[in-house]
A = this chain, B = another copy of it.
Amino acid sequence: MNLATTTQAWITRVEHKLDTVLPADTQHPQKLHQAMRYSVLGGGKRIRPLLVYASGVSLGAPIEALDAPAAAIELMHAFSLVHDDLPAMDDDELRRGRPTAHIAFDEATAILAADALQPLAFKVIATDPDLRVTAETRLRMIQLLADACGSLGMTGGQSIDLSSEGRKLSAAQLEHMYKLKTGCLLEASVLAGAITAGANDATVELLKRYIDNLGLAFQIRDDVLDVEGATEVIGKQQGADIERNKATWPALFGMAAAKQKSAELLEAALREIESLGAAADPLREIARYMVSRCM
Which chain B positions have C-beta within 8 A of A107? Answer: 88
Stretch of A118-126, A206-214, A234-242 lying at the B interface: A118-126
CB-contacts of A76-116 with B (<8 A): 79, 83, 86, 88-89, 106-109, 111-113, 115-116
State whether A156 touches B123 (Cβ < 8 A): no
- A280 on the interface (CB 8 Å rule)? no
Q: Assign chain A's interface to a size class.
A: 35 or more
* B residues less than 8 Å from A32 (CB atoms): 151, 155-156, 159
Q: How far in angstroms is the closest Cβ of chain B from A111?
A: 6
Given A88-B106, A120-B151, A122-B142, 7 new contacts (CB under 8 A): A32-B156, A83-B111, A118-B119, A119-B146, A119-B153, A122-B122, A139-B139
In the bound complex, what is the Cα–Cα distance between A127 and B145 (angstroms)? Answer: 13
Stretch at the interface among A60-68, A130-138, A255-263: A130-138
Of B31, B142, B156, which one neighbours A116 at CB under 8 angstroms?
B156
Q: Which 4 A-B pairs have the closest CB atoms?
A: A135-B135, A123-B146, A88-B107, A119-B146
Q: List 21 A-B contacts (CB under 8 A).
A: A23-B151, A23-B152, A29-B159, A29-B160, A36-B151, A86-B108, A88-B108, A89-B108, A111-B111, A112-B159, A116-B150, A116-B156, A119-B150, A119-B153, A123-B142, A123-B150, A126-B142, A127-B139, A135-B139, A139-B139, A142-B142
| Shortest distance from the beta carbon of A100 to any chain B beta carbon, whole Å | 14
Nearest CB on B from A85, distance (A): 11
Q: Does A147 contact B (CB under 8 A)?
A: yes
Residues 31-68 of chain A, each 1 if its beta carbon lies under 8 Å from chain B, else 0: 11100100000000000000000000000000000000
Cβ 8 A contact of A151, one of B33, B88, B159: B33
Q: A118-B119, A126-B143, A143-B127 are in contact. Are A155 and B23 (CB under 8 A)?
A: no
A163 at the interface (CB under 8 A from B): yes
Chain A interface mostly helix, strand, loop or mixed? helix
Q: Which residues of B contact A143 (CB under 8 A)?
A: 123, 126-127
A204 proximal to B (CB < 8 A): no
A192 contact set on B, CB distance < 8 A: none
| Residues of the B chain whose Cβ atoms lie less than 8 Å from the Cβ of A27 | 152
A70 to chain B, nearest CB (A): 18
- Asked, given contacts A112-B83, A127-B139, A151-B33, whether A145 binds B160 with beta carbons under 8 Å apart, the answer is no
A251 within 8 A of B: no
Judged by a CB distance under 8 angstroms, whether A219 is at the interface is no
